């Protein structure tokens, strides 16, 4: 039971955690990375997209001097993408779920926090204007912000996370139960062959 519970726990983590992360960060191919904030100033980025780029996943990397972003459910950054006078994407970013940020350099305390702004499902060929601005969160020491675009990304099945978390819960409960009940019962029965042979003669065991 213990081995089966571990397998279910690993399967749940793969479906609920690794699969969405891999689809967001590695599916498709990179269009480019664009610096949209540096030196205390935000600046828009204009990127030409082709119809073959769809769907385009929009990611934002926040470089800050912090171990984690604590925004109290407030908005750290806002993002809009527009083309031909029409808004293709509008999103707010909080970075609350980034528990393991990347390190810029071993010599620097700055960390890279990534959040997903969304997906542009259908691309009209032409120039897209991406505008990133500040939210209403305070006390975040931002060093820089990068816009990351990936083309041809696969869509994440919305059922994956709930199903994965459910499997992780079942596996964890099964693992705990196997550990608790595995300690009872007085242990395994002793092997009779492991006992020392009886002694015969004076002072030995009677037949």
> What are the pLDDT digits (tens) for 73-102?
789 999 999 999 999 999 999 987 766 788
Q: How many domains does the chain have?
A: 2
> Does 50 reside within a domain?
yes
Task: Based on the fold, state whether residues 5 and 45 are members of the same structural domain.
Answer: no
Phi, psi (degrees; rounded to nearest 5) at 162: -60, -40
**Residue 179 domain flag:** no
- On whether residue 180 sits in a domain, the answer given is no
User: Is 200 part of a structural domain of the chain?
Assistant: no
> What's the domain range around 47?
29-151
Indicate whether 65 and 164 sit together in one domain.
no
Residue 132 has pLDDT above 50, yes or no: yes
DSSP state of 146: E
Residue 189 lies in a domain: no
57 CB neighbour count, 10 Å cutoff: 24
pTM beyond cutoff 0.95 = no
Answer whether residue 168 is part of any domain: yes
Rounded CA gap, 116 and 158, in Å?
15
């Amino acid at each position: 039971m213990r081995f089966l519970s571990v397998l279910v726990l690993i399967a749940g983590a793969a479906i609920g955690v690794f699969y969405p992360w891999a689809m967001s960060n590695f599916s498709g191919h990179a269009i480019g990375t664009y610096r949209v904030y540096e030196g205390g100033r935000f600046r828009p980025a204009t990127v030409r997209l082709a119809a073959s780029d769809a769907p385009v996943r929009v990611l934002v990397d926040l470089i800050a001097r912090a171990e984690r972003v604590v925004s109290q459910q407030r908005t750290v950054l806002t993002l809009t993408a527009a083309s031909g006078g029409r808004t293709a994407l509008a999103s707010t970013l909080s970075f609350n779920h980034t528990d393991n940020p990347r390190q810029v350099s071993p010599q620097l305390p700055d960390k890279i926090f990534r959040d997903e702004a969304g997906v542009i499902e259908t691309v009209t060929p032409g120039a897209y204007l991406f505008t990133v601005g500040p939210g209403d969160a305070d006390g975040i020491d931002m060093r820089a912000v990068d816009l990351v675009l990936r083309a041809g990304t696969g869509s994440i099945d919305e059922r994956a996370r709930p199903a994965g978390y459910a499997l992780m819960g079942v596996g964890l409960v099964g693992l705990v139960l196997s550990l608790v009940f595995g300690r009872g019962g007085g242990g395994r029965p002793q092997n009779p062959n492991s006992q020392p042979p009886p002694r015969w003669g004076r002072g030995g065991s009677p037949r």
